[in-house]
Amino acid sequence: MALLSVNADHLTKRFGRFTAVDGVSFQVKQGEIFGFLGANGAGKTTTIRMLCGLLMPSTGSASVAGFDVYTQTAEIKENIGYMSQKFSLYNDLTVRENIEFFAGVYGLDNKATSRAVARAGDVYGLGDYLARLTKDIPLGWKQRLALICALLHQPRILFLDEPTSGVDPISRREFWEMIYDLAQAGTTVFVTTHFMEEAEYCHRLSIMYQGAIIAMGSPHELKANYQRQSIEDIFIHLVDR
């Protein structure tokens, strides 16, 4: 039986009278690519922020890497990587300096930092950009750099919040190839997106609408259950209904 990386049970977040996340329950297995699909404002980012220990839930329970989201947020942060849609990079630092800065944040020693810089060039293709200011490199390469920084401490679980917003289709495809490689190596990947075609890349996904999960399963299972040809058709059908 596969180990659970994420376990949420009736997880809820309210802001005053507004319920942003309404009792969502789901489980994510180790090495799985799990997607949260929904329009902007559906509650995807709020859910991911609760799971990352950045936002305290109102009610319900959840654990990430076996740690409780209420009482063990420090342990959660040590075991996850988080990449936001705005890319938490410093534009006035070079690519190399960004890697070195985040390596310091994660407590990597000099040797590990040097290996990370070398890997960024050799494996991720950033060698020609290492001395360039981050603000001057193309968006697709910024995305790649943000992923590298999120992976520096070799987290067990990677949270990606709208990671491909604004990037071109080629960069988006290359990014997903890297995600597949990570999952095959055992990293759990939790990704939020509003791109319907990206949902097809997930091993399993949930569809969120107005803070609630309205459908969940593999793309194949969802298409069979709702007798639709695409995830986009399913999404429109469910929302219209």
pLDDT tens digits for 108-161?
999 999 999 999 999 889 999 999 999 999 988 999 999 999 999 999 999 998
Can you read off the two tokens belonging to residue 83?
Answer: 């990449």
Between 198 and 76, the more confident residue is: 76
pLDDT tens digits for range 184-234: 999 999 999 888 888 899 999 999 999 999 999 999 999 999 999 999 999
Average pLDDT over the chain reads 93
Distances (CA, A) of 196 to 41, 125, 142, 146, 199: 16, 28, 23, 23, 5
For the entire predicted model, the pTM comes to 0.91
Residue 24's φ and ψ, nearest 5 degrees, are -85, 140
Phi and psi at 167, nearest 5°, equal -90, 160
Write down the pLDDT at residue 1.
Answer: 52
